[in-house]
Amino acid sequence: MKQKWMLLVIGMSMLLIAVPAMAQDTSVTGDLPWWNDRVFYEIFVRSFYDSDGDGIGDLRGVIEKLDYLNDGDPSTTTDLGVTGIWLMPVQQSPSYHGYDVTDYRTIEEDYGTNEDFLELMEAAHARGIAVIVDLVLNHTSDQHPWFRDSANNPGGDYGAWYIWRPANPGYLGPSSQQVWHARGSRFYYGVFWSGMPDLNYNVPAVTEEMYDVSRFWLEEMGVDGFRLDAIKHLIEDGREQENTPATLEWFAAYNDFLDSVNPDALTVGEVWSSNFISSQYVPDQVDLAFDFDLATAMYSAVAQNRPDAVVSVINRIEDLYPFGQFATFLTNHDQNRIMDQLRGNVDEAKTAASLLLTLPGVPFVYYGEEIGMTGSKPDERIRTPMRWDETPITAGFTTASAPWEPLSEDEAGVSVTAQTDDPNSLLNHYRALIQLRGQFPALAHGSITHLDVEGSRNVFAFLRSAGDQTVLVLINLDDETVTDYHLTLDASDITFSGAEVLYTNAAMPDEFIPVSGSLSAYAPYSTLPEYSTTITQLYP
């Protein structure tokens, strides 16, 4: 069996321990789907890497950087270790972001060709990386030929494909925004803005077309699934514009259709609502839903130095979703980057990463998050070019004189090259946690058991368990060392005979106190340094 070496820090010394390495394409999830064994990485192609020197990222640039994400060799630790990619829209579009599509079956010309995409799929799969793509079902661009025909020829083939009214109905959208837009003497519905008219799914031909588009991406382009954009808005019922029964019914039928094409295809739904609502879509409408409440709770736990918010949300999640069937993240392309929210505090960013990558769910990492890139709205400033090195103006993203959008306003050290050889960097913290999650089923998809922490309100302690494997996670969320604490598992009949430290990102005391018997008033270390994350395997 191959072994993978992991850096272990004890006191001020460092040593390497060998842990079993799993093949990248081997599922360890038992009865769970393949995605519960993955960590995904969200890529905005325009900002990831420019292969041809025009200042714009492209698909061949993604291919060139695949080894950074996962080199396909489980014996190395210099890659990030992700086993899934989510590509933001890659279809033809007049905008920089691509969420207003003009041709669903053609790759955006700035990014390359359909043939380039097929090469990316082949290269990713060779490394054990699954690829899902953004699919925007709710709306198109107002420049799409369908909409132009619908606007100019109401009685034509596409006349009813969009939602038209002879007069402005007068009501606002779910966020009090204008949703009715004038075109000639009529008004059309567009929940996001006038450039994104909503499709009319009360017309069977629209559904048939989108079924065919989905089949094209699964069969012709070979994708492993879809991230489904803004699904709660799909079908309106007058003033009821979100999460309507018709929307749930449509996605249930769509889910059945996708299963008929490829039963292993993954669907991840964006339902930007509370998890009481987003969980209603799982599993009949989509396989996973992004849990925005947990993302908020993880930020709050780090910012407030207390785990209470996360504990509360995780307990609720266990009652709402099928086991493990939710997607986790810190931020995405629509939100201010986590490093901005944490005011540039690298230690807190490490702690946030620890929460994301040790808690249940299927994690998604937004590109650049692993090196601490900053960015706050407007949207272009949270989607800036990836910082590969310390080159002024371009950061190794392009050989052009300047990238399509100026870089994020970061200080020196926020780049892949600056952090790759620094054992204490944010990048290497992400690498270690992602790779550890891939090696230990308990972290990837195990159950979670919260531990009572006596003596400190700043320590988050829990067990992750799968089969006979149990892992103890200790995260000190505070900026001060914790010395007087004890862990207790109430009414525990679980006993352990020993333990082994798998990872720590801090200088821990030299002594480790093995657990013997049940978890009662147990302190595995005499102190927990500030912002420390320690992961320990307990042996029953």
Strands (E), 206-339: 225-228, 266-269, 288-289, 327-329
User: Rounded distance, CA 435 to CA 358, Å?
Assistant: 11
* DSSP β-bridge partners for residue 133: 87, 226
The stretches of 74-215 forming alpha helices (DSSP H) are 114-126, 145-152, 204-215
Amino acid in position 266 = L
Amino acid in position 261 = V
What is the SS3 assignment for 292?
helix
Sign of CA dihedral 406, 412, 413, 416: positive
Q: How far is CA 141 from CA 79, 93, 138, 215, 242, in A?
A: 37, 7, 11, 21, 21
Residues with a known catalytic role: 229, 270
Helix %, strand %, coil % for the chain, to 5?
A: 30, 20, 50
- The rounded Cα 228 to chain-centroid distance in angstroms is 13
Query: Do 114 and 106 form a contact (C-beta atoms < 8 A)?
Result: yes
Query: Do 366 and 327 form a contact (C-beta atoms < 8 A)?
Result: no
Query: Do 453 and 434 form a contact (C-beta atoms < 8 A)?
Result: no
Tell me the CA end-to-end span of the chain in Å, nearest whole number: 24
Question: Quick one: which H or E segment has residue 530?
Answer: none
Amino acid in position 341 = Q
The tokens describing 195, both together, are 């450039």
User: Rounded distance, CA 359 to CA 381, Å?
Assistant: 29
User: Rounded distance, CA 530 to CA 477, Å?
Assistant: 7
Phi first, then psi, for residue 258 (nearest 5°) are: -60, -40
DSSP character at residue 50: -
Which of 298, 385, 286 has the alpha carbon at shortest distance from 326? 286
Amino acid in position 417 = T
Amino acid in position 361 = G
- The rounded Cα 485 to chain-centroid distance in angstroms is 33
User: Rounded distance, CA 326 to CA 278, Å?
Assistant: 9
User: Rounded distance, CA 358 to CA 473, Å?
Assistant: 8
Edge to edge, the sheet with strand 533-539 lists 447-450, 459-466, 469-476, 533-539, 498-504
